[in-house]
Amino acid sequence: MARKRVKLQRILNDAQRRATFKKRLKGLTKKATELATLCGVEMCLIVYGEGAVEATEVWPSVPEATSVLERFKAMPDLDR
Amino acid sequence: MARKRVKLQRILNDAQRRATFKKRLKGLTKKATELATLCGVEMCLIVYGEGAVEATEVWPSVPEATSVLERFKAMPDLDR
DNA sequence: TGTCCTATCATTAGTTG
DNA sequence: GCAACTAATGATAGGAC
């Protein structure tokens, strides 16, 4: 989305993939914050990096995400 | 972000809030898809709407989200 | 209400220090 | 490797239907 479009496939270069991950994760969480604020909803986001390269990320925080997950787990299958 | 900027606070009008929620959720999941593809990571997103107004949303799918959640639940506290 | 359009604002790829 | 900057693409508020 800038000087050049990026192909929609896994970035092979490790350093560049990490850099892109960091930038886009920031953008994604910002959007998530805006959506939660504007629409008055609760939400959580969990990202699993591959091995030790990208760390696992939990948003907005581990306790809040856990709370949301408990509600999801407790929800009857029919409602899912 | 378009003809006019929107205030970063809960949209009071129900119809408009629903419309904004739908548009932004679509944009958010698109971004999430791109991040997962570009960086080769697994992720899930869970949104709880308020009461019956906005429905609960799970991305990318309930089975995949459940899989990610199981891994999160099984993860030692120290790693979180 | 849902979808399409598009002017306008937001995000970000590439680059520099 | 990170933060800042900038050009260029991407997302979306408001409007039309």
Over residues A10-51, the pLDDT tens digits come to 999 999 999 999 999 999 999 999 999 999 999 999 998 876
Residue A24 lies inside a defined structural domain of this protein: no
Q: Does A14 touch chain B (CB under 8 A)?
A: no
**Which domain does B63 fall in, by range?**
45-80
With respect to residue A16, please indicate whether it lies within any of the assigned structural domains. Answer: no
B31 touches strand C (CB under 7 A): yes
| Partners of A59 in the β-ladder | A45
Q: Is residue A34 part of a domain?
A: no
In terms of residues, how long is chain A? 80
The domain total for chain B is: 1
Domain membership of residue A64 (yes or no) is: yes
Per-residue pLDDT of B1-55, as tens digits, reads: 678 889 999 999 999 999 999 999 999 999 999 999 999 999 999 998 876 556 7
**B62 domain residue, yes or no:** yes
Check if B13 contacts A (Cβ < 8 Å).
no
Q: Could you tell me if residue A12 is inside a domain?
A: no
Tell which B residues from 15 to 74 touch A, by Cβ distance under 8 Å.
Answer: 17, 20-21, 24-25, 27-28, 31-32, 34-35, 37-50, 54, 56, 58, 62, 65, 68-69, 71-73
Q: What percent of chain B has pLDDT over 90?
A: 56
pLDDT at A70: 85
Nearest CA in chain B to A33: B8
The answer to whether position A65 is within a domain reads yes
pLDDT of residue A21: 95
Three-state helix/strand/coil letters over chain B: CCCCCCCCCCCCCHHHHHHHHHHHHHHHHHHHHHHHHHHCCEEEEEEECCCCCCCCEEECCHHHHHHHHHHHHHCCHHHC
* Residue A53 vs residues A16, A61, B14: alpha-carbon distances, Å: 12, 21, 43
